[in-house]
Amino acid sequence: MGEFEKDIRDMFEDLELQIDTDQLWSGIENKLDKKDRKYPVWWIIAPVILLMSIAVYTAVNMKTTKIKIGSNSLLQQNDDIINNNLQQKDHYNGFNGINLNSKNNTDNKDENKNIDNKAKKHNNQKNIINTKRNKLIATQQKTPKTQNEAIPASTIETADEQNNSLIIANNLSNEKKISRYVDFSPVPYKFNPVYIPEEILYKGAFADYFERKPVKKVNYWSKSMDFSFGFALVDKNLKTKTSAFNSYLNKRITTENYLEAINSSIAFNLKHSSGFFITTGIYFTQIDERFNDIDSIDIYKENDGITKEIQNGDGTIAYLRGKKEVIEHITWDKIIYNYYSFIEIPVIIGYHFDIKNISLELNSGLSYNLVLLNRGQIIGTEGFPVDLATQKDIFKKRTGISFIAGMKMLFPIRKNIFFVEPNIKYNLQDITFKNYPLQQRYFNYGIKLGYRYSF
Amino acid sequence: MELKDLIIGCKNNDRRAQKNLVDTFAPYLFAVSKRYMRDDHEANDIIQEAFISIFDNIQNFRSEPYALKAWMRQITINTALQKLRKTYRTKEVMPETIIDDRDEMPDIYGKFDVEDIMKIINELPDLYRQVFNMYVIDGYSHREIAKTINQKESSSRALLTRAKKILREKIFEIQKKAI
């Protein structure tokens, strides 16, 4: 380095220029205060989901059911029989213990008429059986051979059993005015209603009912909304396109650690009675990682010391002392927390089935991913850290399609449906640009917790 | 307040310590920033951003207190370079021809104020000024400079030589006028 450069360096080495530090500080303090107030995104999303869940829960519980009783005189008459027959009480209570769907009974007058007609029909049947029973009793009473030869208990029991069935069926007929659909699913009644054909009900085939075996289903569609929040671990799939960038790849791998993701979602489900369903909605995912780099600086200093060794003619060595330029290399750890946030629009298909006390939903599909924000630093191709907010030539804005799959386990808790869903997601396309030397994709595997609202 | 206490205070997010640090080092960092940014307002923005970055990262500063100044200078330079990089959106083809650098450089010692020299340096084109600052004053190697400006090492050398040539001509011109 020449004298000119040295003079320039000396001039500027410790140069200070006047500046209004109060004004500067007020600007800095302002930004620091804003930063202190800044919460991570999921701090906002989590309470929103919680509030929405509470709102939905409240709305569901505030819903009142209006029961319209049909104007059928025969049924009114039969009510007396039901009330007087104490033997039926246990069955009746048992029957009432099951959830019946109170679904849209008021908006279908034709259905009520049909029910009334059917009620008339089975009341007639009941009257015939009653008549037969009375005749049988009368016959037995008229011709008693001895005191011991009274009516055989089995005969009366048979008649009573038939009568019970009718009365229960009759009672159900009242209930049927409220709904024709009964839920057999472990998930509450709103979710998976099943149609009970009257011929089965009227024959008293309640064993199936109590064993929770669906007898017959009809085609229908049900709608529901899922609100979920989850956590996932993330594997980064980072590859080079050519071996020339192997060292760059290694540098990126060694400086980026501890990936995890949080996610939240709102999804709409449309499910067919066969069990197949389709889902779409909006998912939000934030991947967090730690960027760990070593930063360094060379400080030029001048120290007093030996600048030259001179060998004298007599073999002794003389030392010249003077100013000597030394370079001090200082290093420090730099840790920056990066985050990459995405908005995803999924299209999922799946199948719903029940096992014992839980309902399962196997699902898989594709999601279209858009980058919302990238913040932090990574090592750039030039070997220096680059800022993700300003470096626009690494990550795409539209990161393409991902494959998603999961297994949702639905649990009824009182009248609400909650679910747990282990899930996976894999980027089918690179999230980096074509001309960037590395290809990057993510594989997420995690668990979601959520609430389902059925319409 | 001693430098050591200032660092501890800043690590604890103590506003008083942070302000003290700004008061102490702002004039120095402003001079660093001013070398890279022609405009006072831009230089001010740079040190504001640099101080935010310093307070964000001071937890990771584990060296001796005397190294703080150099560390802060490095952050300020990085902030300025990042800002300058945004201006080099189009990749210019830089000259790689090395100009003969054996011309005699003027003797400025004791003849020019630092303000005069700064003014002359600030008149250099952006990229020339950046390379000159990085190499001559801040001690970067040509390899590092080349990476920063996204050019070849030979381009960095060529830019430096040209910058020096321009400076020499300007200084001689001023000297002639003075005579």
A149-164: pLDDT as tens digits: 444 444 444 444 444 4
- Please tell me which residue, A76 or A334, carries the higher pLDDT value: A334
DSSP class of A316:
-
Q: Which segments of chain B does DSSP mark as H helices, in order?
A: 3-11, 15-36, 40-57, 68-87, 114-122, 126-132, 142-148, 153-178
More confident residue, A420 or A182: A420
Q: Do A24 and B44 touch (CB under 8 A)?
A: yes
pLDDT in tens, A107-133: 445 655 665 676 676 677 667 766 766
CB A444 within 8 A of CB A265: no
| A342, A399 Cβ separation under 8 angstroms | yes
Question: How many alpha carbons fall within 13 Å on the CB side of residue B10?
Answer: 27
Position A129 scores a pLDDT of: 65
Evaluate if residue B30 carries a pLDDT over 90. yes
CA dist B55 → A139, A449, B18, B72, B161 (Å): 104, 38, 8, 10, 37
Q: What is the four-CA torsion angle of A134, A139, A142, A147, rounded to 10 degrees?
A: -100
To test the contact with chain B by mutation, choose from A13, A24, A294, A329 the residue with the greatest count of B C-beta atoms within 10 A, namely A24
Contacts of A2 in chain B (CB under 8 A): 105
Has residue A396 got a pLDDT over 50? yes
- Whole-angstrom distance, CA of residue B17 vs CA of residue B12: 9
Q: What is the ipTM of this complex?
A: 0.84
Residue B29 confidence (pLDDT) above 90: yes
Total-model pTM: 0.42
- A335 with B74: Cβ contact below 8 A: no
CB contact under 8 A, A16 and B28: yes
Q: How far apart are CA B138 and CA B40, in angstroms?
A: 20
- Give the closest-approach CA distance of A275 to chain B in angstroms: 53
pLDDT at A279 over 90: yes
Among the residue ranges A180-194, A352-366, A432-446, the one predicted with the least confidence is A180-194
| Residue A312 CA to its chain's centroid (Å) | 86
Which of helix, strand or coil describes residue A101?
Answer: coil
Q: Which of A145-154, A177-186, A226-235 has the highest mean pLDDT?
A: A226-235
Q: Write down the pLDDT at residue A112.
A: 58
- CA dihedral over A394, A396, A397, A403, signed as positive or negative: negative
Q: Is A133 helix (H, G, I), strand (E, B) or coil?
A: helix
Element (H or E) spanning A50, and its range? helix A41-62
Return the pLDDT at A262: 92
Q: How far is CA A238 from CA A204, A250, A342, A390, in A?
A: 65, 10, 19, 21
> Quick check: A12 and B35 CB within 8 A?
yes
Closest chain B residue to the Cα of A292, Cα to Cα: B60
Per-residue pLDDT averaged across A340-366, rounded? 87
E-strand spans in A210-316?
221-240, 256-272, 276-311
Q: Counting beta carbons within 10 angstroms of the beta carbon of residue A353, is it exposed (0 to 12), middle (13 to 18) or buried (19 or more)?
A: exposed
Q: Which residues in chain A are closer than 8 Å to B86, comparing Cβ atoms?
A: 390
3 state DSSP class of A219: coil
Task: Report the distance separating Cα A312 and Cα A96, nearest Å.
Answer: 117
Question: What mean pLDDT, rounded, does chain B reach?
Answer: 82
> Alpha-carbon distance A428 to A403, whole Å?
7
Answer whether B30 sits within 8 Å of A19, measured CB to CB: yes
Q: Is A353 helix (H, G, I), strand (E, B) or coil?
A: strand
List chain A residues with CB under 8 Å of B15: 29, 32
% residues pLDDT > 70 (chain A) = 60
Could you give the 3-state DSSP secondary structure of residue B15?
Answer: helix
pLDDT band at A268 (very low <50, low <70, confident <90, very high): very high
CA distance A337 to A255: 11
Instruction: Provide the 10 A C-beta neighbour count for residue A45.
Output: 17
CB-nearest partner of A297 from B62, B70, B106: B70
Q: Do A384 and B71 touch (CB under 8 A)?
A: no
What is the 8-class DSSP label of residue A70? Answer: P
Q: What is the pLDDT of residues B32-59, one digit of tens each?
A: 999 888 888 889 999 999 999 899 888 8
Between CA A1 and CA A7 the distance in angstroms is 10
Contact B61 A31 (CB under 8 A): no
pLDDT value for A44: 65
Grade residue A344 by pLDDT with cuts at 50, 70 and 90. very high
Q: What does the alpha-carbon distance between residue B150 and residue A152 come to, in Å, rounded to a whole number? A: 107
Residues on chain A touching B35 (C-beta within 8 angstroms): 12
Say what the alpha-carbon torsion angle A91, A93, A98, A103 is, to the nearest 10 degrees: 110
Contact A3 B15 (CB under 8 A): no
Cβ distance A360 to A417 under 8 Å?
Answer: no
| Distance of alpha carbon A438 from alpha carbon A252, whole angstroms | 10
In chain B, residues with a C-beta closer than 8 Å to the C-beta of A387 are 82
pLDDT tens for A4-62 read 788 888 888 888 888 888 888 988 888 888 776 655 556 667 777 777 777 666 656 65
pLDDT digits (tens, 9 = 90+) for B98-138: 555 555 666 666 667 788 888 888 888 888 888 988 988 88
CA distance A387 to B48: 17
In order of A175, A184, A188, A351, the CA distances from A181 in angstroms are: 10, 10, 12, 21
Q: Residue B87's pLDDT is what?
A: 64
Dihedrals phi, psi of A184, to nearest 5 degrees: -105, -10
Q: Are residues A330 and B70, on separate chains, in Cβ contact within 8 Å?
A: yes
| Mean of per-residue pLDDT scores for chain A | 71
Q: Three-class SS of residue A96?
A: helix
User: What integer pLDDT is reported at residue B97 of this predicted model?
Assistant: 52
Coil, strand or helix at A222 = strand
**How far is Cα B15 from Cα A333, in angstroms, rounded to an integer?**
24
